[in-house]
Structure 1
Amino acid sequence: MKPILAIAAILVAGGLGYALWPNASQTSQSDDVSSLEGGALVDVLVPDTLSQNAQIGQLGYEAKCAACHGANAAGEDGVAPPLVHVIYEPSHHGDESFQRAAEMGVRGHHWPFGNMPPVEGVTRADVTMITAYIRELQRANGIN
């Protein structure tokens, strides 16, 4: 019985240490991203035309996301990461990841920006349109 308790105590201590250690999970692949003009972290090519859903999403993005994630999802130096980045490609962060991030916030894990709080005042439908905008920006920049 004592070995089981010892193992359980080690697992609990390890989990707490991981959760509480500053930036423990931020073994970032993006530490080499440096600020461009205006504080943007990546250079984003904006497509000439957007679908209707992406146009609606652009309005939502500008109202609720751009203050942190920057114009055209290019990130903001010292504030928030770019969403037009391979880390957020659909096969790594699916559309539901954006839904959950907006609803519940996100614990920082890829970038050294800290945690993202929940976004107040957006619905699932809003996030669906915002995601359409982000996905079209990503495709225009070779992120599929």
Structure 2
Amino acid sequence: MKWAAIFFALVAAAAAGWYIMQTNISRTGSQTGESIPLPAGALATVKLPASFTEQEQIGGRAYDAVCAACHGPNGQGRDGVAPPLVHKIYEPSHHRDMAFVLAAQNGVRAHHWKFGNMPAVEGVTRSDILAIVTYIRALQRANGIN
């Protein structure tokens, strides 16, 4: 009987751990619904949504590949490099999705921040950019930027 109780307790603990991992861990390994700690040089604290749609996940992977080096993980920005994209300045009513497309395709002159001009992003397609914008908009909504 003692072994059965121990076995049951271990199975229950493993199942609980698996459930918590599946429901609370985001694509980047941080807990959803909580603010991600600011890495060194980050400019904004970002709260992740509870989950990402398939399209948002695709955009997140594309963001990590082509945007995160400058704009930081999850759009947090990087001090002295590039602004946070999870910021009221980039809300949809001020910077529509096409503004992101044009900025990535053509570059953009600095106009809100003192980071300098953004160069065009080589090798990124319009489809990639739109997926990235979908991801950024999900992050913005999770942070009250609509």
Counterpart of 1:84, as a letter, is V
State the partner residue of 1:108.
110
Q: Post-superposition shift, 1:38?
A: 1.3
Task: State the Cα deviation string for residues 60-106 of structure 1 (Å, max 9, x = none).
Answer: 00000000000000000100000000000000000000000010000
Counterpart of 1:115, as a letter, is N
| In structure 1, distance between residues paired with 2:48 and 2:123 | 26
| In structure 1, distance between residues paired with 2:84 and 2:77 | 4
State the partner residue of 1:66.
68
| In structure 2, distance between residues paired with 1:120 and 1:37 | 27
State the partner residue of 1:38.
40
Provide the aligned length of Structure 1 versus Structure 2: 109
**Identity, % of aligned positions:** 63
Q: Post-superposition shift, 1:48?
A: 2.4
4+ long deviations beyond 2 Å: none
Indicate the structure (1 or 2) with the bigger Cα radius of gyration.
2
CA RMSD of aligned residues (A): 0.7
Q: Post-superposition shift, 1:37?
A: 3.8
| In structure 2, distance between residues paired with 1:82 and 1:116 | 13
Gaps of 5+ in 2: 1-37
Q: Which has the higher contact order (CA 8 A, sep 6+)?
A: 1
Gaps of 5+ in 1: 1-35
| In structure 1, distance between residues paired with 2:65 and 2:137 | 18
State the partner residue of 2:98.
96
| In structure 2, distance between residues paired with 1:53 and 1:76 | 25
Task: State the Cα deviation string for residues 25-45 of structure 1 (Å, max 9, x = none).
Answer: xxxxxxxxxxx5411100000
